[in-house]
Amino acid sequence: MRLLKAARREDVDCTPVWFMRQAGRYMPEYRELRKKHPILEICMRPELAAEVTLQPIRRFPGLDAAIIFSDILVLVRPMGIRVEFVKGEGPEIQNPVEGAAEVDALREPDFERELRPVYEAIRRVKAEITVPLLGFAGAPFTLASYLVEGGPSKDYAKTKALMRTPAWPRLMTKLADAVGAHLRFQAKAGADAVQLFDSWAGNLTADQYREHVLPYSRRILDKLPVPTIHFATQSAHLLELLREAGGSVIGVDWRIPLDEAWDRLDGVAVQGNLDPQAMLLPREELLAAVDDVLARAANRPGHIFNLGHGIVPETPMESVQAVIDHVHERTRR
């Protein structure tokens, strides 16, 4: 359980390592399963979600955590949002939130019924593994942006317009309450820690984040019974505020030198932050890049090795094993 120890900044025998999106398209067994089942079906069928979650655990001895296979938008469907995964395009919201009326229409999920497959998948995985299992959810801002924009956006114009209206705090409160409950149910089902993904927060100024986002993420992170990992991409200008919002661990984007990030994040554990593209390098260069991250972490207590964003589909599987082994070997106390 070295990952949980690291999350609490306790002594570990060596640095724990896992990979964001470690169950995914770079694995042939995942691609095989995806031929037969769309993403949402996998998320909502416990035996499939558990199977995909376990794929990297079986394949890569030494991996220090499993993360439940799911999608951040699974949570908003029982709130009344219609989501479609368009092939090659990613998710599309069929009934975007345009204003107060749609915000007020969002309902509270009946978690134990409507999201039962997620918790059931967690229970199944827990019965099969000895490493910690991570749960996760999208953070309120990232979910709100999806709901308002209908999909990814270049400038988040609609979201930022809504941010200035009285509907925004209502939307964010509803989402924060739903995210918080969803994470607590995941913990109850057996998740040993949870990660909050605020993937799009980097598109806010520090002031926008502080005023319109931070209170809602804090509302979630304050109240969880397990260690929390708080991650955002493109967040070099937001690190202190992410820490202020909460998290036992702050996940650091690959673009930020880890030593500089950690100097700004004193007092918490840190996760990251190899460039996902480094995984495509020949072995020697890849391990040199890993060594660079480790040198910047400099054995500070509380380092969880990971990429600084999700693993890319072109990643060779031998890179994953090489990184796991190398991190463990190099950091053995």
Residue 281 as a binder of its own copies (CB under 8 A): the answer is yes
**Contact pattern for its own copies over residues 126 through 155, marking x by CB under 8 A:** -----------------------------x
Please give the Cα distance from 248 to 292 (Å, whole number): 24
For 213-248, the DSSP string reads THHHHHHHHTT-SS-EEEE-SS-TTTHHHHHHH--S
Does residue 7 contact residue 64 with C-beta atoms inside 8 Å?
A: no
Q: Among this protein's residues, is 209 annotated catalytic?
A: no
Does residue 181 contact residue 175 with C-beta atoms inside 8 Å?
A: no
Does residue 302 contact residue 270 with C-beta atoms inside 8 Å?
A: yes
Residue 280 as a binder of its own copies (CB under 8 A): the answer is yes
Q: Among this protein's residues, is 30 annotated catalytic?
A: no
Residue 160 as a binder of its own copies (CB under 8 A): the answer is yes
For 71-90, the DSSP string reads -GGGGTGGGT--EEEETTTE
Residue 156 as a binder of its own copies (CB under 8 A): the answer is yes
Figure out which of the listed residues 22, 70, 203, 331 binds its own copies, where binding follows CB under 8 A: 203
**Contact pattern for its own copies over residues 290 through 319, marking x by CB under 8 A:** --x-------------------x-x-----
Does residue 109 contact residue 76 with C-beta atoms inside 8 Å?
A: no
Number of residues that bind its own copies (CB under 8 A): 30
Q: Among this protein's residues, is 71 annotated catalytic?
A: yes
Catalytic residue among 26, 30, 119, 146: 146
Shorter beta-carbon distance to its own copies: residue 39 or 236: 236
Does residue 76 contact residue 83 with C-beta atoms inside 8 Å?
A: yes
Please give the Cα distance from 276 to 261 (Å, whole number): 18
Residues that bind its own copies (CB under 8 A): 155-157, 160-161, 164, 202-208, 234, 236-237, 254-257, 260, 275-277, 280-281, 285, 292, 312, 314
Kindly list the catalytic residues.
Answer: 21, 25, 34, 71, 146
